[in-house]
Amino acid sequence: MTDRYDLVVIGSGPAGQKAAIQGAKAGCRVAIVERGAAVGGECVQRGTIPSKTLRETAVALASFRQRSGNVLDLQMPEGTKISSLLTRLDEVVQSHQRYIGDQLRRNGIDLIHGRARFVSPVEVEVQSVQGARRRLAAGTIVIAVGSTPRVPPNVPIDHEHVLDSDSILSLQYLPRSLTVIGAGVIASEYASIFATLGVQVTMVDKAPRPLGFLDPELTDRFVAEFERSGARYVANAAIASVAADGISVVTTLESGEVLTSDKLLCALGRVASVDGLNLTAAGLAANTRGLIEVDAHLRTVVPHIYAVGDVIGPPALATSAMEQGRRAVCHAMGLPAGLSGETMPVGVYTIPEMACVGLDEAAARERHGEILVGRAAFREIARGHISNARDGFLKMVAAADGSRVLGVQIIGEGATELVHLGQLAMIGAQPVEVFIENIFNFPTLAEAYRVAALDLLSRRADAGLRLRHAAAPVEERDGARVP
């Protein structure tokens, strides 16, 4: 017995949800298959939502210290129960799951609990947790199965002493010390969260600086802040071995340096969760990086099968995954999806947080040659002083004539919200003056846009003066006009 649908979505994470809802809105009969006990995927269960909840506690602590001008210093007692730091977690996760579930039900989507595998290009078999099997057939299938943490061969992850990003939040007490292997988004976020909570954190990676895809000015500031909190970033370092002795974890670097810590977090990337999908039955195969390849419309080599989210690789963010889910189904149903979001912002929830949109300075110079860069340090902004958030800054990159914003990079609390102003200016193709000729609330951190714009335009003016100066006759330059 096979149940027939217009659209079957495998996975109920951010990408899957949006794909399913878009399908339902388009009038399709939709089923969404989820292997977990609840909807939301890793994002809700073990990823974005819980980690951001823990971060919220850490930020509250840090900002309490900061905003009190360090008059009061809050220290986490050694061994604090992490669950006490995540007090709101269950509530947050459950309400999020309830919201997603209600939304799916409201849209008439069938939620099927089980694991899906292809049996043909148009059919999947779903195995329930008790082992019962049923088949679903669909004209369009969207693969949104997400990813799992990568397990490097030389790191013995036991989820007890050596953890990955799936098990790090199972910790029941704050360790005294934590080694973090990796320097990507997950590694940097957790490293800075735990450091803020008072854990002695050492982050190790082969890269000269963490988060290599961001503007080095931001990451240098991040490392400085990170190390100021008592943590350490060990750059250009490779891991020789990791061993847990039952009490502590000993990490030996190829340089010979030995790091000993209570726990270790391995965050060396993620791999697409394609095992068990039986892709060959669908006429698909993962590429050499274990990802499913798609075209500009998120379509695989099998035209009615789409893949979205982490399973297709970078940027592998919840934000992009949602948009991909929506766009894939729009394409499948022949609906307009709107302009492709080239101005997608990136938010990194480190402490302090970082965000960017568009091109950074190096990429802009490479693409456009002459450009203008304006900066605003939060210490120049009244709100920065009031909140004692003086270490942040905003950097704006614009075309050489200031006619449009090419990119914005921000570090500091509120960066992930602030970045949207820059994004909208870019979407609207606004000139830099838009930040000067319009009124912002005072005191706000958004004022940094005005300061950066003024800085940028003063550079344009200086450059213009220099150009005019260079072009003027000698006598004019000497300040005396010769008749």
Which stretches of the chain bind another protein, using CB under 8 A? 35-37, 46, 77-81, 115, 127, 129-131, 158-161, 166-167, 170-173, 175-176, 245-247, 262
CB of 428 to another protein, least distance (A): 44
Instruction: Tell me the CA distances in angstroms from 322 to 309, 316, 478, one per residue in order.
Output: 7, 10, 62
Q: Which is nearer to another protein, 247 or 439 (CB)?
A: 247
Determine contact, residues 362/433, Cβ cutoff 8 Å.
no
Q: Which is nearer to another protein, 83 or 229 (CB)?
A: 83
The rounded distance, in Å, linking the Cα atoms of 356 and 238 is 29
Q: Which is nearer to another protein, 95 or 128 (CB)?
A: 128
Both tokens assigned to 387: 């909140």
Q: Which is nearer to another protein, 175 or 414 (CB)?
A: 175
Q: Which is nearer to another protein, 262 or 455 (CB)?
A: 262
CB of 176 to another protein, least distance (A): 6
CB of 167 to another protein, least distance (A): 4
Within 10 angstroms of residue 80's Cβ, the number of other Cβ atoms is 16
Q: Which is nearer to another protein, 132 or 439 (CB)?
A: 132
Catalogue the long-range contacts made by 360-366 (C-beta closer than 8 Å, 24 or more residues apart). Answer: 360/214, 360/215, 360/397, 360/407, 360/409, 361/215, 361/217, 361/395, 361/397, 361/407, 362/215, 363/407, 364/397, 364/406, 364/407
CB of 78 to another protein, least distance (A): 7
Q: Which is nearer to another protein, 33 or 308 (CB)?
A: 33
Cβ-count burial 217-248 (b if 16+ within 10 Å, e if not): bbbebbbebbeebebbbbeebebeebebeeeb
Q: Which is nearer to another protein, 77 or 369 (CB)?
A: 77
DSSP per residue, 207-247: SSSS-TTS-HHHHHHHHHHHHHTT-EEE-S--EEEEEE-SS
The rounded distance, in Å, linking the Cα atoms of 294 and 306 is 7
Q: Which is nearer to another protein, 245 or 342 (CB)?
A: 245
If you ran DSSP here, which 8-state letter would residue 299 be given? Answer: B
The rounded distance, in Å, linking the Cα atoms of 105 and 274 is 27
If you ran DSSP here, which 8-state letter would residue 168 be given? Answer: G
**Whether residue 156 has a cis bond before it, omega within 30° of 0:** no
The rounded distance, in Å, linking the Cα atoms of 440 and 349 is 25
Contacts of 19 (CB under 8 A, 6+ apart): 7, 9, 142, 144, 306, 308, 325, 326, 328, 329
Contacts of 468 (CB under 8 A, 6+ apart): none
E strands, 388-467, in order: 393-399, 405-411
DSSP per residue, 324-338: HHHHHHHHHTT----
CB of 378 to another protein, least distance (A): 35
Determine contact, residues 271/147, Cβ cutoff 8 Å.
yes
The helix or strand, by DSSP H or E, that contains position 181, with its residue range, turns out to be: strand 177-181
Q: Which is nearer to another protein, 260 or 430 (CB)?
A: 260
Q: Which is nearer to another protein, 124 or 328 (CB)?
A: 124
CB of 429 to another protein, least distance (A): 46
CB of 392 to another protein, least distance (A): 33
